Structure 1
Amino acid sequence: MIISVTLAAGEGTRMKSKIPKILHKICGKPLLEYVIDSCNRINVDKNIVVVGHGAEIVKEYFKDSSLIFKTQPISKDAPYGTGFAVMQAIDEISDDSIVIILYGDTPLITEETVRKLLDFHRTGNFDATVLSAIFENPEGYGRIIRDDEGNISKIVEDKDATTFEKEINEINSGMYSFSGRALKYALGKLKNYNSQNEYYITDVIRILNDEEYKVGVFVIDNPIEVYGVNSRSQLALCEKVIQKRINEKLMLDGVTIIDPDNTYIEEDVTIGSDTIIYPGVTLEGNTIIGEDCIIRGNTRITDSQILDRVYIESSVIESSTVGYDCHIGPYSHLRPDSHLGQNVKIGNFVEVKKATIMDNSKAGHLAYIGDAQVGKCVNVGCGVIFVNYNGREKFKTIVGDHAFLGSNSNLVAPVLIKDWGYIAAGSTITKDVEEGDLSIARAHQVNKEGWVEKKGFKKRK
């Protein structure tokens, strides 16, 4: 059995936030979720998270997950330290398990690294394995001290290191793998006889080493993976790294991203081959983009499905679906629960909300289509408003196939425009329109001769 124990009890004071540090997001996902995802991808059997500050908020966020939460006591009299945090999970650790110790604020750790750490641990038949990294500037990190045969001798904290030891650039990441039996044994012998009155997980390594358990060190390939988040600037740095990973994977899969540094795409977004993403585009949530699409300008798409060969420019699409060969924008807004069929055009400054628009229909500009069902081959003229709200309730408008909605028309719901219905420009429609009828609903035009001059608006010559 493989068990992960992720330490996530820190207060994160340098974030200066009401939100627990591990819930701050990178590319749409909390820091903690990246760590757990890396474990899940290698089929860890049990994920334990040790929480402390903001514990209830964290638990609520992950209430639908299979995570096992252990709460570290927080009081002025309670001991602290990484060793004490791991102790909170001891009743979940079996003797025959392998335990991985990780941190909730290190989102860059990858599944490949966790898998390699486990493989190294198993292959070497180690009781404990330290994950180390080579840093050009190791200041502030504990150093890995090796003996003449290259085995780990001890871990020395930066503040306790000698001048010679400070020159060592192999650092302790704070991440480990243990045999369950060895870890439980060493945790039982931990003491907090130090200036901080804390229990340190590094002392577990010392205890096992002193008692001639087999302790190994696995050097990580890419040291950036052990980078932690303690401030907003570090959060931004990690966001850049993860964004680069996402974009590179998409480009390897056949997506063209014109300017990766100025394109924001979250991890759960999928994009088909030969789609082109221009600078300024934001793709969020569980968005699916098909093949051969072009997305330009300041477009934001969230939790939506866009099928193949769709062109979108400078528009917002939220929780909606867009069919094949549609043309959206510029400056269109598809609000939640909008559904477009094939070859639909939604043009300049058109807003659609909770509406279905069928194949080959178009709304070229300056229209509002809300709470509606619009049939095939319908023309929605400039300035058409679907009047769906009376101040208390929403009502639905149904427009049949091949209808024509003239410019500046108002359709006051609930109302039905049947197939081939024709609405004259400037009409306010409050009654159903039968198939093939022309509906004119506007006041009779009256021209008052000489009225402007009589009112003195126009000066006489």
Structure 2
Amino acid sequence: MIPCIFSKSDGRILEPLTCSVPVSLITVCGKPVIEYTADILKKSGFSRMIVSTAHKNEAVQDYFSRNPPHKISVGYDTSDISDDETVLLINADTFYSMSFENSFRFHKNKKADMTVITKSVNDCRENRAVFTGNDKKILSFQDNPTYMDCVSSADTGIYIVSARIFRIIENSDGISDILLNRLISEGFSIYANECIGYFRNIDSVKNYIKCQNDVLCGTVTADINGHRTLDGSIIHGSYDLKKASVAEPLCIGNNVSASTGTVIDNLSVIGNNVTIGRNSSVHNSVIMDGAYIGDRVTCTNAVICRNAVLLNSCSVYDGCIIGEEAVVGENTTIRNNAGVWNYKNTGSNKNICFPLRYGHSSEIKINEYGISGETNAVITAHTAVSAGMSLGGRNKSLVIGYAPENNSAYAMALAASGGTMSAGGTVWNIGECLPCEMDFAVRNLCAD
């Protein structure tokens, strides 16, 4: 059996954190996720593993060339997997600590094509639900089930598969419930085996921060880099926090300093070479290497990437990610899971509720008078619905079209149509079209 850390993701998970690194190289308490995985595989007796990620796999190769793992070799060519080999397939965004020995025996005894490692959870709405029969044979899968459809068995993102199944997955768009249900319909024998242990999918800021919390609190058994103190804190080097108010446990990197009046709450993670100014507050957040936090800054349940700058009196709230070398201006507030992409500058005195990806500032105002402000942000379904409602509320007649063979554009068009009609406006939805066709429709339909 050979383990393979696998992902077909294009890197949009946790953007902008994953714009420059794959999810397997983001750190949990100062240590990359893939190193935790390698440690567990070594303890399970494996001497080699394969890494195959669609997004920035070369970054993983570069990392291991500079930091070769001890007692386990790393390969990157899936053609090394022979046709008669069994594969332990691990999603790159799965953070876990569990033993698979019983699952290996279960898979062999059942003569299964695929065994899904499951975990009993209280609420699987954020996971993939696994529906099984009495013999543990899987009947169906469902991603992000509703409360009414919930079961206690969740897919951990770890699978034992035959080489044939692996090739099917490798040539697909990823391990989705659609693919897994298709495999069941095609007659493959797929079983579920529950493991005792810990897992969490790092597919959101909430889950990423929760992984840090669980390592600090000892909820997950993991080998850490650095020194763990008696109160549970993880220390990676020297620091100067004498003037600050600090609650433990937390993770502190090397060469960290904080000025008078600053409060660093427990479960926060502070990287190397971080400077925090006066009277600032860091609560349950991840501050990465080289970041600068100015005076009177509030950072709550957020991720601040490498070398980012938060200037005086700004605030970053729940679910927000500030990208590498981005600058959040003075008196600027960022909330509602908005992110600031790498190298962007928000400008001062802004109130940002949408992701800032393009340009250097973002402030969109949508009201009964229409749309105003700068529109250089990522357009989401919420934005499209709000825009449609604004135009519909002014008794506008709207022509909507979308780019051919673009599912995202189609979804945005539906959202804008729904918003317009809900406010009493008229919609001419011309479907897939080219820009010249859109211009023709607007002129001849006398719409906006």
Name the TM-score class by shorter chain: 0.3 to 0.5
Q: TM-score, normalised by structure 2?
A: 0.44
Larger Rg: 1
Q: TM-score, normalised by structure 1?
A: 0.43
